[in-house]
């Protein structure tokens, strides 16, 4: 997409987004007591930390995937017991290429993103998608929800969002050693669950230079305070309801959701909430995309994140944009997907 087209689409969407949607005045944390970025990173990385092992990548033979691009399956070791499967689509020409990592949502898999991978590769990117924890080749939705229930009861792993962040950081460790990847130009784009994992990874790993979380950015604290948690919890309803039953309860309320978060994704509604993660990403380029009527990322909570972004990007206003898709639920329109691709191309190739 050429630059004029990018600006026309972005301008149209932004005008629609902000015409009647004022920013929230609510703040997720007070500036006086706000923890320092490095302390937040240290706390989160301590939660997901485990001994590092050699990535030991295993790559299948590449096959033609279109004019001038090839596609192949690969796996790498994320830790001592987990190998992560992925798909690479890359140009056939020599040289280093900017890297784009695409993350699927709940119930998805890496193959769901092949269309996007091919589009990026056609534009000269080294494009990668992996299976999240208990998705695709790594398990079923039954396995995923069982792991979430186990995390609530026993602790240990963090199958909801956090452990996939570790997988992505180890993916970057591997990919930056490849002669065809430019490790100084790394972008991420994710959807729903993958959108949350995108902004978490960008916040935790400064090697990510551009981030586009789609229908994922949100303020979990706002949702707890305003009964706006139902949609997001509904994406893992079987695991959540099993945890509820294990607690001897019949009906969930905000207090139980908070308890559930404390055990499964500790810190997600305070020190690791969306507004703080945005502050850790700034001033690197960040585009957030949400739907106006998305119950999984309530608009008022997104506005809290936008308030934090406007503060964090005060000296780099061109590097933050948000799109609120009018009359749209938990989905990304074709127009916004085009803007997302153009955003990554703008900041990674120029």
Tens of pLDDT, residues 284-319: 999 999 999 999 999 999 999 999 999 999 999 999
For the segment 205-233, the average pLDDT, to the nearest whole number, is: 98
- Six token digits for residue 22: 């004022």
In degrees, to the nearest 5, what angle opens at C-alpha 44 toward C-alphas 40 and 49? 140
Distance, CA of 290 to CA of 216 (rounded, Å) = 7
- Separation CA 34–CA 80 (nearest Å): 36
**In sequence order, what DSSP letters do the residues of 322-335 get, joined into one string?**
EEEETT--S---HH
Residue 237 is assigned to a structural domain of this protein:
no
What confidence tier does 86 reach under pLDDT thresholds 50, 70, 90?
A: very high
3-state secondary structure of 63: strand
pLDDT confidence bin for 37, thresholds 50/70/90: confident
CATH number reported for the structural domain that contains residue 293 in this entry: 3.40.50.1820
Look at residue 11 in the predicted model and tell me its pLDDT: 43
Residue 179 lies in a domain: yes
Does residue 8 lie within any of the structural domains? no
The pLDDT of residue 136 = 98
CA dist 59 and 324 (Å) reads 39
Please report which confidence band the pLDDT of residue 36 belongs to, taking 50, 70 and 90 as the band edges. Answer: confident
Alpha-carbon distance of 217 to 50, in angstroms, equals: 27
Q: Which residues contact 93 (CB under 8 A, 6 or more apart)?
A: 68
Give the span between the Cα atoms of 139 and 158, in whole angstroms. Answer: 15
Which tokens in the block code for residue 215? Answer: 């229908």
Q: Tell me how far the alpha carbon of residue 42 is from its chain's centroid.
A: 19
Alpha-carbon distance values, 283 to 47, 313, 318 (Å): 25, 6, 10
In whole angstroms, give the CA distance from residue 169 to residue 147: 21
Per-residue confidence (pLDDT) for residue 39, from 0 to 100: 93
Determine, yes or no, domain membership for 228: no
Residue 268's pLDDT band (cuts 50, 70, 90)? very high
What angle, rounded to 10 degrees, do the helices at 274-281 and 299-312 form?
Answer: 30
State mean pLDDT over 256-281.
98
Mean pLDDT of 186-190: 98
Q: Residue 330 is part of which domain span?
A: 32-139+159-217+273-349
Nearest to 302 by CA among 323, 319, 279: 323
Decide if 312 is inside a domain.
yes
CA angle at 36 for the pair 32 and 37, rounded to the nearest 5°: 135
The answer to whether residue 87 is domain-embedded is yes
Q: Are 346 and 299 in contact (CB under 8 A)?
A: no
DSSP letter assigned to residue 179: T
What length does the chain have? Answer: 350
In a domain, 295, yes or no: yes
Residue whose tokens read 């130009």: 185
User: Structurally, how many domains does the chain consist of?
Assistant: 1
Kindly give the pairing relationship between strand 126-130 and strand 210-214: unpaired
More confident residue, 348 or 36: 348
Q: Is position 180 within any domain? A: yes
pLDDT exceeds cutoff 70 at 5: no
């Amino acid at each position: 997409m050429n630059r004029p087209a990018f600006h026309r689409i972005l301008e149209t969407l932004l005008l629609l987004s902000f015409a009647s949607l004022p920013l929230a005045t609510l703040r997720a944390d007070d500036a006086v007591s706000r923890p320092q970025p490095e302390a937040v990173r240290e706390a989160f990385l301590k939660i997901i930390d485990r001994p590092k092992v050699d990535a030991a990548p295993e790559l299948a033979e590449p096959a033609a995937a279109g004019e001038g691009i090839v596609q192949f399956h690969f796996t790498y070791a994320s830790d001592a017991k987990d190998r992560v499967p992925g798909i690479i689509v890359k140009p056939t020409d020599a040289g280093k290429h900017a890297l784009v990592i695409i993350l699927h949502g709940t119930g998805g898999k890496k193959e769901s993103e092949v269309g996007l991978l091919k589009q990026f590769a056609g534009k000269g990117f080294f494009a990668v998608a992996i299976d999240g924890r208990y998705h695709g080749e790594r398990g079923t939705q039954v396995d995923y929800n069982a792991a979430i229930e186990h995390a609530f009861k026993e602790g240990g792993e963090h199958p909801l969002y956090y452990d996939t962040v570790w997988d992505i950081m180890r993916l970057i460790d591997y990919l930056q050693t490849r002669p065809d990847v430019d490790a100084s130009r790394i972008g991420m784009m994710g959807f729903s669950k993958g959108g949350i994992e995108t902004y978490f990874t960008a916040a935790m790993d400064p090697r990510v230079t551009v981030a586009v979380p789609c229908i994922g950015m949100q303020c979990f604290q706002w949702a707890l305070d305003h009964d706006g948690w139902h949609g997001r919890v509904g994406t893992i309803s079987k695991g959540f309801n099993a945890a509820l039953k294990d607690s001897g309860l019949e009906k969930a309320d905000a207090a139980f959701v908070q308890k559930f978060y404390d055990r499964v994704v500790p810190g997600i509604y305070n020190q690791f909430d969306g507004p703080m993660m945005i502050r850790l990403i700034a001033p690197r380029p960040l585009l957030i995309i949400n739907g106006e009527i998305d119950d999984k990322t309530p608009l008022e909570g997104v506005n809290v994140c936008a308030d934090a972004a406007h503060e964090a990007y005060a000296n780099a206003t061109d590097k933050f944009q948000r799109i609120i898709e009018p009359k749209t639920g938990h989905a990304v329109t074709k127009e916004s997907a085009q803007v997302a691709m153009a955003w990554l191309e703008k900041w990674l190739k120029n």
